[in-house]
């Protein structure tokens, strides 16, 4: 019998159990892992990928639905196949978006802080008032998988009107929410709550800038769960600090992590989370399993469960 040549797989980060087990069970692979939550140092990466099939480079499997971190032109040129993890994180990310919206518009971090620091004295009619969703207009930038899942969750809060933007109208998806397709300036001007849920592309980079914030209502709340670079953070800081807009909630920033001395962190009306959109145990496990199966299928020359169409 001819000896079977094992394919070398090098995993560059500690991943959840389901993905790890799927790789370990693959009889045709020899798996090595950088067993740390922290990014692998360059030297260790070079050592680990020496001889790995992925590094030749045939297949990239990213444990994310976003693929803005990949050099797509080069990948296309070299005929590399890419696996990614759409759908399995949609509900979890939408849940986080709604949590962040409610946290921001009802000023929960400020309120929690006041309980701890003695600022809570008596019941006061106007103290810590925020903005509620009932009878509001919600604008969603990017009515994709996550954008729709957010709208679906917000509808029962009594939202009166949904607006959305994108490259083109999506009448079939929009029908569920009677969402109206509008231009970006119209969405900025008419929405009480704006949620950014689009992908980061050259067209969306810096989309939310000074002009955009200028058009927003002074009582409006801005939420971004897509990618930090969709927002011009200096312009957002000015809009928040000057009271041009009421508040912002960000799950994503530029850069990540955001330096602890960043001006946005000095503002009470800005809530910042460390990119935890898909961070539940169940979802991260499912993502790791899908990423492992994408990788194995790619290495074996089989159809991937979720392959990015390049
Ligand atoms: P989809 O591909 O389903 O949706 C992407 C959306 O972006 C589409 O609605 C698309 O609208 C919209 N879009 C693209 N170009 C433009 C544009 N020029 N202007 C306005 N909208 C545009 O992806 P998902 O919903 O699954 O994910 C969306 C993004 O969310 C990901 O790319 C990722 O960056 C981010 N994400 C963040 C997470 C987190 O942890 N915070 C977790 C998961 C994802 P149309 O096609 O109609 O133009």
pLDDT tens digit string along 196-219?
999 999 999 999 999 999 999 999
Ligand 1 atom closest to the Cα of residue 277 is: 40
Q: Is 145 in the pocket of ligand 1 (CB under 6 A)?
A: yes
Q: Could you tell me if the CB of 86 is within 6 A of ligand 1?
A: yes
Q: Give DSSP secondary structure letters for 163-183.
A: EEESSS--HHHHHTTTPEE--
| pLDDT (average), residues 274-293 | 98
Whether the CB of 154 sits within 6 Å of ligand 1: no
Residue entry with tokens 């990017």: 142
Tens-digit pLDDT profile for residues 62-112? 999 999 999 999 999 999 999 999 999 999 999 999 999 999 999 999 999
Q: Measured from the CA of 148, which atom of ligand 1 is nearest? A: 25
Is 51's pLDDT higher than 80? no
More confident residue, 175 or 46: 175
Model confidence at 53, in pLDDT bands (50, 70, 90)? low
Please give the model's pTM, rounded to 2 decimal places: 0.95
Residue 281, pLDDT > 70, answer: yes
CA dihedral for 258, 264, 266, 267, sign (positive or negative)? negative
Tell me: pLDDT of 2 over 60: no
Instruction: Return the active site residues.
Output: 275
* 163, 190 contact by CB (below 8 A): yes
User: pLDDT category, 50, cuts 50, 70, 90?
Assistant: confident
Instruction: Give the pLDDT score at 54.
Output: 58
| Distance between CA atoms of residues 121 and 111, nearest Å | 12
Give the span between the Cα atoms of 65 and 94, in whole angstroms: 13
Residue 3 has pLDDT above 70, yes or no: no
Token pair of 186 as six digits: 């119209």
In the chain the domains, ranked by start, together with CATH numbers, are: 7-87+281-308 (3.40.50.720), 89-272 (3.40.50.720)
DSSP state of 307: B
Q: Quick check: CB of 200 below 6 Å from ligand 1? A: yes
Comparing CA positions, the residue from 29, 33, 31, 43 lying closest to residue 13 is 33
Q: Are strands 193-196 and 221-224 parallel, antiparallel or unpaired?
A: parallel
Strands (E), 84-149: 137-141
Rg of the chain (C-alpha set):
22
Query: How large is the greatest C-alpha to C-alpha distance in the chain, in angstroms?
Result: 83
Please give the share of the chain, as a percent, with pLDDT higher than 70.
98
- The answer to whether 93 and 146 have CB atoms below 8 angstroms apart is yes
CA pair distance 23, 10, nearest whole angstrom: 10
**What are residue 30's DSSP bridge partners?**
8
Average pLDDT, the chain: 95
Residue whose CB lies within 8 A of the most ligand 1 atoms, among 70, 82, 166, for a mutation test: 166
> Is the Cβ atom of 144 under 6 angstroms away from ligand 1?
yes
Cα separation, 89 vs 281, whole angstroms: 11
Total count of residues recorded for the chain: 310
Rounded distance between C-alpha atoms, residue 243 and residue 136, angstroms: 20
Alpha carbon nearest to ligand 1 atom 26, residue: 145
Residue 152 clears pLDDT 80, i.e. is over it:
yes
């Amino acid at each position: 019998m001819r000896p079977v040549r094992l394919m070398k797989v090098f995993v560059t980060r500690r991943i959840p159990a389901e993905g790890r087990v799927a790789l370990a069970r693959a009889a045709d692979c020899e798996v090595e892992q950088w067993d740390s939550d922290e990014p692998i140092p360059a030297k260790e990466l070079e050592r680990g990928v020496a001889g790995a099939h992925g590094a030749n480079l045939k297949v990239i499997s990213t444990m994310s639905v976003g693929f803005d971190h990949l050099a797509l032109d080069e990948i296309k040129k070299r005929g590399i196949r890419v696996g990614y993890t759409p759908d399995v994180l949609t509900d979890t990310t939408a849940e986080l978006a709604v949590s962040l919206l409610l946290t921001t518009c009802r000023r929960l971090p400020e309120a929690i802080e006041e309980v701890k620091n003695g600022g809570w004295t008596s019941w006061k009619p106007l103290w810590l008032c925020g903005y509620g969703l009932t009878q509001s207009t919600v604008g969603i930038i990017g009515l994709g998988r996550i954008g729709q899942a957010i709208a679906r969750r917000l509808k029962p809060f009594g939202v009166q009107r949904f607006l959305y933007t994108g490259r083109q109208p999506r009448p079939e998806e929009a029908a569920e929410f009677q969402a109206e397709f509008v231009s970006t300036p119209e969405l900025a001007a008419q929405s009480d709550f704006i949620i950014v849920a689009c992908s980061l592309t050259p067209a969306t980079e810096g989309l939310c800038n000074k002009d955009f914030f200028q058009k927003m209502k002074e009582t409006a709340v801005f939420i971004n769960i897509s990618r930090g670079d969709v927002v011009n953070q200096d312009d957002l800081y000015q809009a928040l600090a000057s009271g041009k807009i009421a508040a912002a909630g960000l799950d994503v920033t530029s850069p990540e992590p955001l330096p602890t001395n960043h001006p946005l962190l000095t503002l009470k009306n800005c809530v910042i989370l460390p990119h935890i959109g898909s961070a539940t145990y169940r979802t991260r496990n499912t993502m790791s399993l899908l990423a492992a199966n994408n990788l194995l299928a790619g290495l074996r020359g089989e159809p991937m469960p979720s392959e990015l169409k390049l």
